[in-house]
Amino acid sequence: MSSVDWRRLDISFGEHRVSVPCCEIVGDDDGPRAFISGGMHGNEINGIVAARRLLDQFSDPAFCSALKGRVTIIPVLNPSGFQHMQRRCLRTIGT
């Protein structure tokens, strides 16, 4: 049976620390791997919406059972930029 696993990736750079939600969907059989991300630029939300819609698809057991391989999804790569609706991350805002 395929599995959906949510976890948080803790990232540090200098004195700044962020925790980024990450979802990994593993199919029943081996196969290709895919990485999907959104929100690299915090003020560009289209990728975030697309990643969330794809995650919604994986809540359907029939959709999930057809998966072969592994999909890793990080909906928001730049949470501080998204929170402030800024293109850059917190460390570079104002520079």
Would you say 20 and 37 are in contact if contact means Cβ atoms under 8 Å apart?
no
| The two three-digit tokens of residue 69, written as one number | 């391989």
Question: Which structure tokens are listed for 14?
Answer: 């200098």
Q: Could you tell me which residues are beta bridge partners of residue 94?
A: none
* pLDDT at 86 (0 to 100): 76
pLDDT at 89: 66
Cβ 24 vs Cβ 70: under 8 Å: yes
Count Cβ atoms below 10 Å from residue 16 Cβ, excluding itself. 11
Q: Which residues of the chain have pLDDT under 70?
A: 1, 87, 89-95
| pTM recorded for the entire structure | 0.78
The two structure tokens encoding residue 1? 């049976």
